[in-house]
Chain A
Amino acid sequence: MAENGEEKLLAMARHIARTLGHNDDTMADDILQIFSNFDGRFSRDKLTDLDDPRPSASLQLSINSLDRQISQYVASDHPIWADSADSSAFLDSVDELIATIREWTPLAAADKSVSTCLVRADELLQQSMFRLEDEFRSLMERGGQSFELSESTGNLSFDSDDDEDEGVIGNGENHHQIPVAQPISEYDIVIDALPSATINDLSEIAKRMVTAGFGKECSHVYSSCRREFLEESISRLGLQKLSIEEVHKMPWQEIEEQIERWVKATNLALRILFPSERRLCDRVFFGLSSAADLSFMEVCRGSSIQLLNFADAIAIGSRSPERLFKVLDLFETLRDLMPEFESVFSDQYCLVLRNEAVTIWKRLGEAIRGIFMELENLIRRDPAKAAVPGGGLHPITRYVMNYLRAACRSRQTLEQVFEKDSSSSLSVQMSWIMELLESNLEVKSKIYRDPALCSVFMINNGRYIVQKVNNSELGSLLGEDWIRKHNAKVRQYHSNYQRSSWNKILGILKVENSSSSAPNGAAARSMKEKLKLFNLSFDEICKTQTPWVIFDEQFREELKNSVIKILLPAYGNFIGKFQNIPEIGKHPDRLIKYVVEDVEARINELFQGNVAPAGGGRK
């Protein structure tokens, strides 16, 4: 009875639909749809006319059935991909729908009813695609959120065993935040930011969307999500977005910290994050290389430019010499990452990024040359203001030499930077700076009125220079000849010193051979005068030179020994003769202030710099 009633009801519904939708399949179908929504008994199966004679009937049938299958999913409140049976059923329907449309489209021109059916099919396709887009997006988002290391999905390719060092992703401690790779030291890894199963799901969806002509939408959703992930990762590595002006206004110390972070972040980005994105992209858009390339570029573009812009800002910034070492870090980082830039940005869309990286890397090279130029300027312009007490080591010598030695630790990099034209190779550059330093020191030495002190100053600074050059990269850059020449220079200053300090006093001690033949009284008087003069001069020299400084202990001894070597024999000889002159009197020793040993002792007290502790020469 009830069944019979239902039969009647259905027949009537069919009739209504057919009559009202007389010439219009869509309308008839709409009416059927209304009925079927109205009451479960009017299911589409039961309502559909099975014996429609038109050619589009079978098309309509399959669309009706697809509509039923698809609509239930499209209308679902729950994610379709929560259940793999649902998702594959849905995908099957979509495949069928796409195939149906493709199959019937050629017939649409000839048959109006087919084209009317296809409009419906198209409608259905749009709905499916909207839903697929939403599913795609939430898979991207959920995949990233819920992904934990503990999920043994087996697709984490870490090479390291050390937990601390691994590219730990999504370790669940930040519940709603996007998982992010932590800084690591071992770069030979790839992270999969999404579980393998999710990637497969995404790939399945992407395939359908691209096939149905919704590739742009798919790529758009994909890039937006991944871009966000990357930018978040970069900012978690402590890198801020900074304008060039902001970088330029930043205190150097802060910039140094930023550079350190930048080096780490850039390595991580180029060695792990970008290649991982590339891999993810290739897997999601498997077999869809154009969509993959485009999406990948969109994902990485912003982060790459952020990284490169910072390096650029530093390259354009101040050329103050203290910045050299950090700029070298930047330069070396980009240089070492060039193969990564080449490989990860190898496609046509990323060409721009690759070129940018090269440009900015080169600009860092220019910046390094600029810094050396600035160093030259600073040396050239360093004013000869106050003299260093005691003729000691000038701060500029110490600064420049230690600076160059430290710089030469990056010799290979610097050679690369200066290589460009051979006339400005690194060794030419270095000897040029040395030349500037020496001429600056020569100007400074003129401040000392006493030529002996002037020599002491040059000895100290020259000696320091040679010492710093010896046995160092700097030395091998300047060459043996240079060192030999400069050792000779120091010796020259040494003899200058002796000449200007001691020649006069040696002259006093000269005893003419004819003295014995001279009238004895006069000779004695002359000898007495000479001794007195010697004592006076010697005292004077000792008094003057005791606070002078020879910072290098060995050289100080050498210098004193050489003085002793010329002075003592002369003095001994003089004293000997003096004592042998009978006219001097009974107690010639009374006139002798210093015995030979005293003279030696006094000379040994020279160059201690102890009277002028502020001298700063000896440390």
Chain B
Amino acid sequence: MPATDCQGSSAAAFTNFGRSILSLRRDQVHSMDGAHPDSASSHELDLDSFQKNVADRISGLSSGPDEILSLSWVQKLLDLFVISQEEFRMILFNNKSQLHRAPMDRLIAEYFERSVKALDVCNAIRDGIEQMRQWQKLIEIVLIALDNQRTFCDGQFRRAKKALIDLAISMLDEKDSGSALSHRNRSFGRNTNNSTSRDSTHQRSLGHYRSLSWSVSRSWSAARQLQAIGNNLTAPKGNEVMATNGLAVVVFTMNSVLLFVMWALVAAIPCQDRGLQVHFYIPRQFHWAGPLLSLHEKILEESKKRDRKNACGLLREIYQIEKNARLMNELSDSVQFPLTEEKEAEVRQRVQELSKVCETMKAGLDPLERQVREVFHKIVRSRTEGLDNLGKGHGSD
């Protein structure tokens, strides 16, 4: 392939023809494969529209009706991945013959490598969703305890408080859960006049807060996994783009979507050893670079907010739970019976807020889990197909 004149550093070279893959390819196609101009132009269309679709979808994420990092937003994010992955698969399918040639074979193999790493993230996220379901149950207890129909009494608050403390502990990052457990004992003992006998019981039962464990080993780290996915992910060099008829750009796009989606999932949803220190090196020439980087920026900003810094996930709903549970907790510490009207209204307000979040989670967590599974299955399927194809060509190892 006569691509020597385009060798150079990736970004710079790309600037020159980033937008003209189309015309550049047309020349090549004519010189190589003049017999099928139709299929060639549809190929170009595929590649270009893929770029454009990805860009549109990412823009849609930041401008759409869903608040960033809300449950519904995360669902859109997963939709984005699934659809993009599907288009990517089609492009690979339509260009089967190209996949065995260097450097395409290597690029594809690398993509599969990264996508397998993403599978573990999916599993970790699934655990996180299960954890959120546990929170949902604890909130439900609070809601039952402080049911609107009844006049409030001390016992109801104690019941709610118990659930709230369990919730607070369960929501803490594992790192600081040790001190939290002792705190729980202190606060819990506070209101019970016969606490001496029960403290020991609770001490023993603290184990169950940890028992909803992750399905991965204790040493697994979401942060490290993200770094591994992003490792050596760089925009294709000019000669690579040429040598692959533009497919290298498609692979890079899909790689970036994969990394970004996994990163955003880890940002939003609790999982073992979260961490967001992943860098996105994306030349601005890509249509989708701007929207993606700006979303990245927004999420990072969110993570740096004072009240979100130590959150176990940046999901909107988690924030709402945390906030309302904390306020409710404070309220329940300060209530005197009978309640003043003002206090009662405040309690009702919190209950309502919590019940709203609870409803959102109730409706959203199952579909979210299904989607995460779907992402998992799509990744596996595409990889299996890809390996089949590579295997038929030549060396699959």
Residues of A within 8 A of B (CB): 74-77, 115, 119, 122-127, 129-130, 134, 137-138, 141, 213, 216-217, 220-221, 224-225, 227-228, 231, 240-246, 248, 301-302, 305-306, 309, 316, 319, 352, 359, 363, 366, 370, 373-374, 377, 381
Contact = CB atoms under 8 A, between A and B. Distances in A.
B198 interface: yes
A216 B141 contact: yes
Contacts of A213: 144
B205 interface: yes
B204 A302 contact: no
A352 B366 CA distance: 10
A130 B188 CA distance: 12
Given A220-B137, A366-B384, A126 B211 contact: no
Contacts of B201: 134, 137-138
B391 interface: yes
B216 A125 contact: no
Contacts of A305: 126, 215
Which of A76, A127, A129, A248 has the most chain B CB atoms closer than 10 A to its own CB? A127
B155 A244 contact: no
A224 B120 contact: no
A593 B150 CA distance: 122
Contacts of B159: 126, 129-130
B394 A381 contact: yes
Which of B155, B196, B391 has the most chain A CB atoms closer than 10 A to its own CB? B155
B151 A244 contact: no
B388 A373 contact: yes
Nearest to A319: B387
B256 to A, nearest CB: 21
Nearest to B394: A381
20 contacts: A77-B197, A119-B151, A122-B153, A122-B155, A122-B156, A123-B155, A129-B159, A130-B159, A134-B202, A137-B201, A141-B205, A220-B141, A241-B213, A241-B214, A241-B215, A242-B216, A306-B215, A366-B384, A373-B391, A377-B396
A130 B205 contact: no
Given A75-B194, A352-B369, 5 more contacts: A122-B155, A124-B155, A241-B216, A243-B123, A306-B215
B211 A228 contact: yes
B141 A374 contact: no
A306 B215 CA distance: 6
A302 B212 contact: yes
B117 interface: yes
Contacts of B388: 370, 373
Nearest to B379: A316
Contacts of B192: 130
B158 to A, nearest CB: 6
Contacts of A306: 215
B208 A217 contact: no
B141 A217 contact: yes
A374 B162 CA distance: 57
B123 A309 contact: yes
B380 interface: yes
Nearest to A119: B153
Contacts of A126: 153, 155-156, 158-159
Majority secondary structure, B binding face: helix
Nearest to B377: A359
Interface in B123-173: 123, 126, 130, 137-138, 140-141, 144, 150-151, 153-156, 158-159, 162-163
A441 B57 CA distance: 53
A76 B197 CA distance: 8
Nearest to B204: A141
B306 interface: no
B351 to A, nearest CB: 16
Contacts of A366: 384
B350 to A, nearest CB: 19
Contact of A316 (B119, B155, B211): B119
Contact of A231 (B154, B196, B211, B387): B211
Nearest to A213: B144
Nearest to B381: A366
B4 interface: no
Given A126-B158, A227-B211, A228-B207, A216 B140 contact: yes
Interface string B26-49: 000000000000000000000000
Interface string B86-123: 00000000000000000000000000000011011001
Contacts of A377: 391-392, 396
Contacts of B369: 352
B232 interface: no
Contacts of B2: none
A374 B384 CA distance: 12
Contact of A246 (B154, B196, B217): B217
B65 interface: no
A245 B120 contact: yes
Contacts of A231: 211, 213
A351 to B, nearest CB: 11
B162 to A, nearest CB: 8
Contacts of B286: none
A363 B141 CA distance: 40
Contacts of B141: 216-217, 220
B211 A374 contact: no
A243 B216 contact: yes
Nearest to B380: A316
Interface string B373-397: 0000100100110011001101110
Given A216-B140, A359-B377, A381-B394, A224 B153 contact: no
B17 interface: no
Nearest to A317: B116
Nearest to A374: B391
Nearest to B197: A77
A134 B216 CA distance: 31
A316 B116 contact: yes
B215 A302 contact: yes
Contact of B396 (A225, A302, A374): A374
B220 interface: yes
Ranked nearest first, the 8 interchain pairs of A and B with the lowest CB-CB distance are A126-B155, A224-B208, A123-B155, A77-B197, A243-B216, A243-B120, A228-B211, A75-B194
Given A122-B155, A309-B215, A319-B387, A74 B194 contact: yes
Nearest to B154: A123
Contact of A363 (B140, B153, B213, B380): B380
Nearest to A140: B205
A218 to B, nearest CB: 11
Contacts of A124: 155
Contact of B217 (A221, A240, A316): A240
Contacts of B126: 305
Contacts of B196: 77
Contacts of A75: 194, 197
Contacts of A119: 151, 153
Contact of B155 (A125, A141, A220, A301): A125
A561 to B, nearest CB: 46
A306 B213 CA distance: 11
B217 A241 contact: yes
B70 to A, nearest CB: 24
A368 to B, nearest CB: 12
A242 B130 contact: no
Given A127-B155, A245-B117, A302-B215, A221 B208 contact: yes
Which of A217, A240, A309, A366 has the most chain B CB atoms closer than 10 A to its own CB? A217
Given A77-B197, A138-B201, A244 B120 contact: yes
A307 to B, nearest CB: 10
Contacts of A302: 130, 212-213, 215
Nearest to B137: A216
A352 B120 CA distance: 19
A130 B158 contact: yes
A459 to B, nearest CB: 31
A377 B117 CA distance: 25
